Amino acid sequence: MFSTGTIIASIIIFGLLIFVHEFGHYIVARMARIRVLEFAVGFGKELLGWEKKGTRYTLRIFPLGGFCRLLGEDPEEAYQSGSFQEKSLLSRLAVIAAGSIMNFFLGIILFSLVYYFFLGVPQTRIAQVGEVLPQSRAEEAGLENGDLILSIDGKKMETWDDVVSYINANPDKEISILANRNNRDLLINVVPQKEDETGKGFIGIAPVYKKYALFPSIGLGITYTWLFVKLIFVSLAQMITGQIPADVAGPVGIIAVVGEVMQTGIGNLFTLAAIISINLGIINLLPVPALDGSRLIFLVLEGIRGKPIDPQKEGFIHFVGFTFLILLMILIAFQDIRRLFL
């Protein structure tokens, strides 16, 4: 059903996302002097394991999960030295939130790598054409890669943003572009096409992109991570309110997407991994029992009440939530398999 390359790529992506998430819990727990009993990547039977400084590190047979087991998560261990429960409320909040925060950081890193190595950073400070899209109105009018746009309709264009703003504001109206090509000025007339969704004009040109620009790449990594965080939250709200249909993919569906994206290049695969990482971070912050979000809710309630929730009751709620999540994952996997064969 899946090629060997797809399976290997999926294992690497899932393994990386899970490792980073659990490492967030792990590193903050160690900083807070909470004893980590086990740091595991995957679930099921243990394939490889070793112990160091009181922590057991394991690699398990199914690389679609993982956990960081802390001393004190079991109510019977609550009052032992180095227990999670004996630490301050702020320390415990930081430990629980750290997993999702690390997923967001991974999103920033992956997006930054995409712009640094693959796409490059758009050079918006100059009004130079980097690419003319095939069969676009710009190509039909005679614009070429490398043309420096001096003015449009007599208005001086100093930056790429100036060019985009003017074209966007003039759909279906002929504009006159004064461009310099090989030290020769050319006057090119073109009518921007109107975009149906936004009503803005476009002619099919892109700016010059520069690779290996470290800090601008990091800036774009931060920008796009924040953009997808907002987009995912908006999409979740729209699904909950019924504005858009609920379309959720499980591991099987994600593996299928990985296989498709692999064929378009490693840069797109990095982008997909970044989006999945951001999704994982957000989903874990949802107030669903057994997820980090619900544990944060219990800690916030503890801060409001001045005393912790009964560990037995909290444990039962997490158990019910975990059971529900397992059933939901099975249902989603079934739906994913149906989609693949229909």
Q: Which domains does the chain have, with CATH numbers?
A: 4-120+214-341 (no CATH), 122-210 (2.30.42.10)
pLDDT tens across 286-329, in order?
888 888 999 999 999 999 988 888 777 777 777 777 677 667 66
- Residue scoring higher pLDDT (102 or 308): 102
pLDDT at 330: 63
pLDDT at 242: 74
Measured CA to CA, the distance from residue 191 to residue 169 in angstroms comes to: 12
List the alpha helices (DSSP H) in 32-159. Answer: 89-113, 137-141
Q: Stretch 164-177: mean pLDDT, rounded? A: 97
Residue for token pair 């990095």: 270
pLDDT at 143: 97
Residue for token pair 């997923």: 103
Which has the closest alpha carbon to 25: 74, 84, 89? 84
Q: Evaluate whether 168 touches 202 at the Cβ level (below 8 Å).
A: yes
Q: Stretch 69-73: mean pLDDT, rounded? A: 89
How many Cα atoms occupy the beta-carbon half-sphere of 58 within 13 Å? 21
Whether 129 has a pLDDT exceeding 90, the answer reads: yes
Q: Is 43 helix (H, G, I), strand (E, B) or coil?
A: strand
pLDDT at 319: 74
How many Cα atoms occupy the beta-carbon half-sphere of 138 within 13 Å? 23
Tokens of 263: 């064929």
Measured CA to CA, the distance from residue 60 to residue 18 in angstroms comes to: 12
| Beta bridge mates, 36 | 70
Query: Percentage of the chain with pLDDT > 90?
Result: 62
What pTM was estimated for this model as a whole?
A: 0.86
Q: How far is CA 154 from the centre of its chain?
A: 43
Supply the DSSP symbol for 147. Answer: P
Measured CA to CA, the distance from residue 147 to residue 185 in angstroms comes to: 10
Cβ burial of 252 (10 Å; 0-12, 13-18, 19+) is buried
| Residue partners of 187: CB distance under 8 A and separation at least 6 | 176, 177, 178
pLDDT tens across 260-293, in order?
787 888 999 999 999 999 999 998 998 888 889 9
* Angle, helix 266-285 to helix 89-113, in steps of 10 degrees: 160
pLDDT band at residue 158 using 50, 70 and 90 as cut-offs: very high
Whether 173 has a pLDDT exceeding 70, the answer reads: yes
Whether 250 has a pLDDT exceeding 60, the answer reads: no
- Residue scoring higher pLDDT (275 or 74): 275
Q: Is 31 helix (H, G, I), strand (E, B) or coil?
A: helix
Which has the closest alpha carbon to 99: 307, 308, 277? 277
pLDDT band at residue 89 using 50, 70 and 90 as cut-offs: very high
Question: CB atoms < 10 A from the CB of 305, how many?
Answer: 9
Measured CA to CA, the distance from residue 293 to residue 283 in angstroms comes to: 8
Q: Evaluate whether 249 touches 336 at the Cβ level (below 8 Å).
A: yes
Tokens of 249: 């993919």
Q: Stretch 109-128: mean pLDDT, rounded? A: 96
Q: Evaluate whether 26 touches 38 at the Cβ level (below 8 Å).
A: no
Measured CA to CA, the distance from residue 77 to residue 56 in angstroms comes to: 17
Residue for token pair 């712009």: 115
pLDDT band at residue 66 using 50, 70 and 90 as cut-offs: confident
Whether 251 has a pLDDT exceeding 90, the answer reads: no
Measured CA to CA, the distance from residue 269 to residue 263 in angstroms comes to: 9
pLDDT band at residue 192 using 50, 70 and 90 as cut-offs: very high
Whether 92 has a pLDDT exceeding 60, the answer reads: yes
Measured CA to CA, the distance from residue 118 to residue 272 in angstroms comes to: 14
- Residue scoring higher pLDDT (210 or 251): 210
Catalytic residues: 22
Phi, psi dihedral angles at 296 (to 5 degrees): -65, -40
